[in-house]
């Protein structure tokens, strides 16, 4: 790619995501086809150094956990019906502290729903994914550039925090083809990863002075490695509820809360009384609405979170600064709104929601000037 | 003590056959001359799974029923000199039967040791898919009514090169050694009796553990062997055709971004934005035509987006594309009321009927074979299908519209067609 000259192409987000994952150092893709994530599977099968078609999504996540345990950095993409099957295994990988990336492409539910209709309906699911309510890092793509920028961030987070990470997106984000200038894409730095090389005995879950234990693959020739999905001590030995094992369990949310990168864009305008908050596919409509309002002389600010979970405190601080907040998202109840404000949405917060179709810019603009 | 164990005292009930499985596994590994760090022991949920702490090998303790899939991932990620062993119970094997069959079919380099004590022991003595007919469990005190799976036969049918069934008494380490030597998938089913539930629920079998040795009954061998025979659990060692173990090789691949740029060689008079919907039938090139239009628009210096919609049965029914062309960047690429609606088939008309009905302006380009629907759009009827054939109706329709409106120069579209794979077969400029 040439940085000075433009390189226009017609491209979809799936292609950028798959390429970005490989450039960032993900070496194994385990796939099971499901609309609207199948395009990522298609590209990944051509591009990843190792690409394995799994017989189902439980197997997919288990293979990923095995590959991760052996020192690989695996990726899969799915949609709700497949993700539902993965949930216990994602919990397992969280407990075993195995880095991996799951790309969740949202579609219209419940259940099988409409495979080829987009949605932003899985945020609640992700917020309560772990038994015990522990947070999982969740990043969310809001445009084609994010398809390039966020996979490396998500993979680095998976490695740095020794955890599964979810990259959230949706049908229209990864399947729509768009004109795009490839020259805008920055070089991707491969994920920086080190393995434990200290003296033995190696304790798989001993974080030393920090919160994240150094990683060492199973099967290595230096030290015994013990991985355990049940409650365990710092050496990976199963325990009931000993002090050491409870300290280990408490460390899991602590590392995710404190070390997940906080990524968002906040475009604030002088004199704006209204803040528009949106995520995923509705970000495009919100950008157009904000541009149109500003062109009409209506000052308005725009917050687009890219780190969705754990919910960064800065979002709460930002919404608190505005007398009016408009939250736009393609689901039934306003899931981000509920994460920000709870079940009792205050009167100064207006929701723009829809199911089965994209939210239009004029719907957001209308709510801003109401 | 063996170099494979760091604690000789195993965490099992007195008399449980799991003791013997561990002792025989260790003996087999020693016979192979393996080193503890060359071995990864993957355990399932169940009493057998709490043995991790005794082993000096790498140990991985996963979920109930999923250990064979987890171990398959590990085996696929490690070099061939490493031995991956799975300990799984009859309950776990029942849950994860598909994982076992899949690993056998793929011939993943694994040794699966099934601890078949004929019921779920850890959860209270429920029957599993390996509980034999007539065997009494906590939930079936009158005897289990169904036949059991024949695991060795199932995995051999699935393509495993090695399968065995042993009665879990005495020294069966040689069978385990043979299994560990297989380069590929091997399964050894070890028959046992759960001393807590199996013995208690089946007092007539005379399987009480021996007070002195803690192993089996006073004379357990004949009884367990007899039970195995009576219930159709014949011991044996079976082999299937050998083939290479499945190991995913790392490949060199080419960048997905090695795609030719769409250089702006043309220009467009479009000042703002135009939305277009192309609706036709699957198999009639709708998506490809729409993609070529988007590329032509880029070649004319515009921004473009293209979405596709079709039923889950990709090869039949409607096929619709939504296209947005714009002078300025497109952030929102949805289309509610299109400026141009192009319908080339009855499937497309049916799919877009509601939207056509709601159009208050714009232009509806309609194939001459179709009835004219209610609409506020200006209707233009053209014989797309008759002129270019059903297969190329969508392509021809877009060319017709570009010729009529010039929103994108027709030459840009013709160039995009010529440079695409279909360019070798058709020349739309003749239409």
Select from B57, B253, B260 the Cβ nearest to the Cβ of A49. Answer: B253
Helices B67-77 + B97-106 axis angle, to 10: 30
A65:B62 CB<8 A: yes
Please check whether residues B48 and B143 belong to one and the same domain. yes
Is the per-residue pLDDT at B219 higher than 80?
Answer: no
Contacts of B74 in chain A (CB under 8 A): 66-67, 69-70, 218-219
CATH fold of A8-184 reads Rossmann fold (3.40.50)
Q: Is B343 an interface residue toward A (CB < 8 Å)? A: no
Please check whether residues B24 and B161 belong to one and the same domain. yes
Contact (Cβ atoms closer than 8 angstroms) between residue A22 and residue A48: yes
Please check whether residues B394 and B322 belong to one and the same domain. yes
In a domain, B4, yes or no: no
* Separation of alpha carbons A245 and A250, rounded Å: 9
Is the per-residue pLDDT at B371 higher than 90?
Answer: yes
φ, ψ (nearest 5 deg) of residue A350:
-110, 140
Please check whether residues B201 and B334 belong to one and the same domain. no
β-strand pairing of A114-118 with A100-108 = antiparallel
* Separation of alpha carbons B61 and A231, rounded Å: 11
Which residue in chain A is spatially nearest to B308 when comparing CA positions?
A176
Contacts of A65 in chain B (CB under 8 A): 62, 70, 73
Mean pLDDT of B186-194: 95
Q: Is B4 an interface residue toward A (CB < 8 Å)? A: no
B257:A63 CB<8 A: no
Q: What is the mean pLDDT of chain A?
A: 97
A71:B262 CB<8 A: no
In a domain, B262, yes or no: no
- pLDDT band at residue B226, thresholds of 50, 70 and 90? confident
Task: For A52-88, write each residue's pLDDT tens digit.
Answer: 999 999 999 999 999 999 999 999 999 999 999 999 9
How many Cα neighbours within 13 Å face the side chain of A11?
A: 28
- Which of B61, B274, B298, B318 would best serve as a mutation to test chain A binding (most A beta carbons within 10 A)? B61
CA distance A172 to chain B (A): 8
Of A330-339, B170-179, B212-221, the range with the lowest mean pLDDT is B212-221
B251:A50 CB<8 A: yes
In a domain, B244, yes or no: no
Which residue in chain B is spatially nearest to A238 when comparing CA positions?
B50
Is the per-residue pLDDT at B209 higher than 80?
Answer: no
Is the per-residue pLDDT at B216 higher than 50?
Answer: no
* Separation of alpha carbons B147 and B233, rounded Å: 11
Contact (Cβ atoms closer than 8 angstroms) between residue B315 and residue B331: no
Contacts of B309 in chain A (CB under 8 A): 116
In this prediction, residue B203 carries a pLDDT of 81
| Last residue of one domain, picked from the residues B218, B239, B260 | B239
Please check whether residues B287 and B410 belong to one and the same domain. yes
In this prediction, residue B269 carries a pLDDT of 97
- pLDDT band at residue A4, thresholds of 50, 70 and 90? low
In a domain, B367, yes or no: yes
Which residue in chain A is spatially nearest to B264 when comparing CA positions?
A8
Residue A218 DSSP code = T
Write down the domain spans for chain A.
Answer: 8-184, 264-369
Contacts of A10 in chain B (CB under 8 A): 262, 291, 294-295, 298, 304, 306
Is the per-residue pLDDT at A2 higher than 50?
Answer: no
Mean pLDDT of A228-243: 97
Q: Where are the alpha helices (DSSP H) in chain A?
A: 13-23, 38-47, 57-69, 80-96, 123-127, 144-161, 171-175, 243-259, 282-295, 313-320, 335-341, 361-369
Location of structure tokens 């030719």: B260
In this prediction, residue B217 carries a pLDDT of 45
Q: Is B288 an interface residue toward A (CB < 8 Å)? A: no
Mean pLDDT of A160-173: 98
Select from A50, A177, A287 the Cβ nearest to the Cβ of B250. Answer: A50
φ, ψ (nearest 5 deg) of residue B337:
-115, 110
The architecture that CATH gives domain A264-369 is 3-Layer(aba) Sandwich (3.40)
CA distance A302 to chain B (A): 14
CA distance B351 to chain A (A): 14
Contacts of A25 in chain B (CB under 8 A): none
Is the per-residue pLDDT at B3 higher than 50?
Answer: yes
Which residue in B131, B303, B101 sits closest to B202, CA to CA?
A: B131
Select from B50, B77, B99 the Cβ nearest to the Cβ of A70. Answer: B77
Please check whether residues B191 and B321 belong to one and the same domain. no
- pLDDT band at residue B220, thresholds of 50, 70 and 90? low
Number of domains forming the structure of chain B? 2
In a domain, B12, yes or no: no
In a domain, B268, yes or no: no
Write the CB contacts of A369 (distance below 8 Å, at least 6 apart in sequence): A293, A298
Contacts of B60 in chain A (CB under 8 A): 69, 96, 218, 226-228
Which of B151-155's residues contact partners 24+ apart within 8 Å by CB, and which partners? B151/B93, B151/B100, B151/B114, B151/B116, B151/B187, B151/B189, B152/B187, B152/B189, B152/B236, B152/B238, B154/B97, B154/B100, B154/B101, B154/B104, B155/B100, B155/B101, B155/B104, B155/B185, B155/B187
Please check whether residues B188 and B280 belong to one and the same domain. no
* Separation of alpha carbons A69 and A215, rounded Å: 9
Is the per-residue pLDDT at B240 higher than 60?
Answer: yes
Which residues span the domain enclosing B390?
273-430
What ipTM did this prediction achieve? 0.97
* Separation of alpha carbons B251 and A47, rounded Å: 9
Which residue in chain B is spatially nearest to A287 when comparing CA positions?
B331
CA distance A226 to chain B (A): 5
B70:A35 CB<8 A: no
β-strand pairing of A274-278 with A74-78 = unpaired
Please check whether residues B223 and B308 belong to one and the same domain. no
B331:A288 CB<8 A: yes
Is the per-residue pLDDT at A119 higher than 60?
Answer: yes
Mean pLDDT of A272-300: 98
Residues above pLDDT 90, as percent of chain B? 85
B residues 75-114 lying closer than 8 A (beta carbon) to A: 75-79, 82, 98-99, 102
How many Cα neighbours within 13 Å face the side chain of A168?
A: 26
Is the per-residue pLDDT at B1 higher than 90?
Answer: no
A10:B294 CB<8 A: yes
Task: For B270-306, write each residue's pLDDT tens digit.
Answer: 999 999 999 999 999 999 999 999 999 999 999 999 9
Task: For B322-333, write each residue's pLDDT tens digit.
Answer: 999 999 999 999
Task: Return the structure tokens found at B248.
Answer: 């995913």
Is the per-residue pLDDT at B187 higher than 90?
Answer: yes
| Last residue of one domain, picked from the residues B186, B214, B239 | B239
Which residue in A195, A237, A198 sits closest to A216, CA to CA?
A: A195
A residues 273-292 lying closer than 8 A (beta carbon) to B: 283-285, 287-288, 291
CA distance A344 to chain B (A): 30
Total residue length of chain B: 431
In this prediction, residue B204 carries a pLDDT of 77
Which CATH number characterizes residue B329's domain? 3.40.920.10
Q: Give the count of Cβ contacts less than 8 A between chain A and B.
A: 222
Q: What is the mean pLDDT of chain B?
A: 94
Contacts of B37 in chain A (CB under 8 A): 219-224
Which CATH number characterizes residue B190's domain? 3.40.50.970
Q: Is B353 an interface residue toward A (CB < 8 Å)? A: no
- pLDDT band at residue A1, thresholds of 50, 70 and 90? very low
In this prediction, residue B189 carries a pLDDT of 98
Q: Please give the C-alpha separations between residue B294 and each of A176, A364, B274, B305, in angstroms, as whole numbers.
A: 12, 27, 12, 7
- Which of A62, A174, A281, A287 would best serve as a mutation to test chain B binding (most B beta carbons within 10 A)? A62
β-strand pairing of B236-239 with B162-167 = antiparallel
Map B138-196 to HEC letters.
CCCCCCCCCCCCCHHHHHHHHCCCEEEEEECCCCCHHHHHHHHHCCCEEEEEEECCCCC
Could you please report the per-residue DSSP string of B184-239?
Answer: SEEEEEEE---TTTHHHH-GGG--PPPTTT-SSSSSHHHHHHHHHHHTT---EEEE
Q: Please give the C-alpha separations between residue B246 and each of A33, A50, B65, B79, B160, in angstroms, as whole numbers.
A: 21, 13, 22, 12, 12
Please check whether residues B285 and B234 belong to one and the same domain. no
Select from B74, B331, B336 the Cβ nearest to the Cβ of A218. Answer: B74
Location of structure tokens 């309560």: A128
Dihedral over alpha carbons B343, B345, B346, B348 (to 10 degrees): -50
Task: Return the structure tokens found at B49.
Answer: 């799974």
Write the CB contacts of A238 (distance below 8 Å, at least 6 apart in sequence): A228, A230, A231, A232, B50, B52, B53, B61
Q: Do domains A8-184 and A264-369 have the same CATH topology?
A: yes
Q: Is A146 an interface residue toward B (CB < 8 Å)? A: no
Contact (Cβ atoms closer than 8 angstroms) between residue A155 and residue A165: yes
Which residue in B151, B59, B61, B158 sits closest to B103, CA to CA?
A: B158
* Separation of alpha carbons B410 and B299, rounded Å: 11
Q: Please give the C-alpha separations between residue A162 and each of A165, A219, A306, A344, in angstroms, as whole numbers.
A: 9, 18, 20, 36
């Amino acid at each position: 790619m040439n940085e000075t000259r433009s390189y226009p192409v017609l491209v979809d987000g799936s292609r950028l995501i798959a390429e970005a994952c490989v450039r960032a150092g993900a070496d194994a893709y385990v796939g099971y086809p499901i609309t609207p994530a199948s395009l990522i599977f298609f590209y990944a099968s051509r591009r990843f150094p190792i690409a394995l078609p799994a017989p189902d999504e439980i197997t997919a996540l288990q293979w990923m956990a095995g590959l991760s345990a052996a020192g690989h950095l695996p990726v899969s993409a799915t949609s709700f019906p497949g993700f539902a099957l993965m949930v216990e295994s994602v919990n397992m990988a969280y407990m075993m502290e195995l880095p991996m990336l799951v790309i969740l492409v949202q579609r219209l539910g419940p259940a099988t729903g409409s495979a080829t209709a987009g949605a932003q309906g899985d945020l609640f699911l992700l917020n309560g994914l772990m038994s015990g309510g522990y947070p999982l890092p969740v990043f969310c793509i809001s445009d084609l550039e994010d398809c390039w920028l966020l996979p490396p961030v998500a993979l680095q987070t998976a490695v740095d925090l020794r955890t599964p990470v979810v990259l959230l997106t949706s049908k229209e984000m990864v399947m729509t083809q768009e004109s795009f200038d490839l020259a805008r894409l920055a070089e991707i730095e491969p994920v920086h990863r080190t393995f434990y090389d200290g003296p033995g005995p190696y304790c798989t879950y001993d974080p030393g002075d920090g919160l994240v234990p150094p990683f060492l693959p199973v099967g290595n020739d230096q030290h015994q490695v013990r991985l355990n999905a049940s409650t365990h001590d710092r050496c990976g030995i199963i325990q009931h509820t000993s002090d050491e094992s409870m300290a280990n369990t408490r460390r899991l949310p602590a590392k995710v809360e404190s070390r997940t990168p906080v990524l968002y864009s906040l475009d604030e305008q002088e004199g704006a009384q209204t803040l528009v908050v949106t995520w995923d596919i509705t970000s495009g409509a919100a950008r157009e609405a904000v541009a149109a309002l500003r062109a009409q002389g209506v000052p308005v600010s725009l917050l687009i979170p890219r780190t969705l979970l754990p919910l960064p405190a800065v979002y709460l601080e930002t919404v608190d600064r505005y007398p009016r907040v408009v939250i736009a998202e393609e689901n039934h109840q306003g899931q981000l709104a509920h994460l920000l404000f709870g079940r009792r949405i205050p009167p100064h917060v207006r929701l723009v929601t829809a199911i089965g179709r994209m939210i239009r810019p004029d719907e957001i603009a209308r709510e801003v000037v109401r | 003590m063996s170099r494979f164990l760091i604690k000789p005292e195993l965490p099992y009930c007195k008399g449980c056959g799991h003791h013997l499985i561990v002792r025989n596994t260790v003996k087999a590994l020693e016979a192979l001359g393996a080193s503890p760090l060359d071995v990864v022991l993957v355990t399932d949920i169940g009493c057998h799974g709490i043995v991790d702490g005794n082993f000096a090998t790498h140990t991985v303790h996963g979920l109930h029923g999923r250990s064979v899939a987890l171990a398959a991932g590990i085996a696929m990620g490690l070099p061939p000199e490493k031995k991956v062993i799975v300990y799984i119970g009859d309950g776990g094997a029942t849950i994860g039967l598909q994982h076992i069959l899949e690993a056998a079919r793929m011939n993943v380099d694994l040794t699966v040791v099934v601890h078949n004590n004929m019921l779920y022991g850890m959860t209270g003595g429920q029957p599993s898919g390996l509980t034999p007919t007539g065997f009494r469990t906590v939930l079936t005190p009158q005897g289990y009514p169904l036949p059991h799976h024949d695991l060795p036969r199932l995995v051999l049918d699935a393509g495993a090169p090695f399968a065995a069934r042993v009665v879990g008494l005495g020294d069966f380490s040689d069978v385990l050694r043979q299994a560990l030597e297989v380069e590929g998938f091997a399964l050894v089913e070890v028959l046992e009796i759960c001393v807590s539930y199996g013995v208690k629920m089946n007092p007539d079998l005379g399987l009480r553990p021996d007070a002195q040795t803690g192993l089996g009954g006073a004379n357990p061998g004949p009884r367990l062997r007899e039970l195995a025979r009576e219930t159709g659990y014949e011991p044996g060692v079976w082999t299937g055709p050998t083939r290479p173990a499945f190991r995913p090789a790392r490949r060199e691949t080419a960048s997905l971004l090695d795609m030719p740029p769409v250089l702006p060689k043309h220009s467009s008079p479009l000042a703002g934005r135009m939305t277009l919907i192309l609706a036709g039938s699957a198999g009639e090139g709708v998506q490809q035509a729409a993609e070529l239009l988007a590329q032509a628009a880029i070649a004319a210096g515009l921004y473009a987006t293209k979405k596709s919609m079709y039923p889950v049965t990709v090869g039949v029914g409607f096929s619709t594309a939504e296209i947005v062309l714009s002078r300025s960047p497109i952030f929102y690429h949805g289309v509610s009321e299109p400026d141009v609606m192009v319908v080339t088939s009855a499937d497309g008309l049916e799919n877009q009927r509601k939207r056509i009905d709601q159009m208050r302006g714009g232009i509806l380009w309609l194939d001459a074979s179709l009835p004219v629907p209610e609409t506020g759009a200006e209707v233009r009827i053209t014989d797309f299908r008759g002129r270019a054939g059903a297969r190329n109706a969508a392509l021809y329709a877009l060319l017709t519209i570009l010729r009529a409106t010039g929103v994108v120069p027709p030459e840009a579209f013709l160039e995009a067609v010529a440079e695409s794979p279909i360019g070798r077969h058709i020349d739309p400029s003749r239409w």
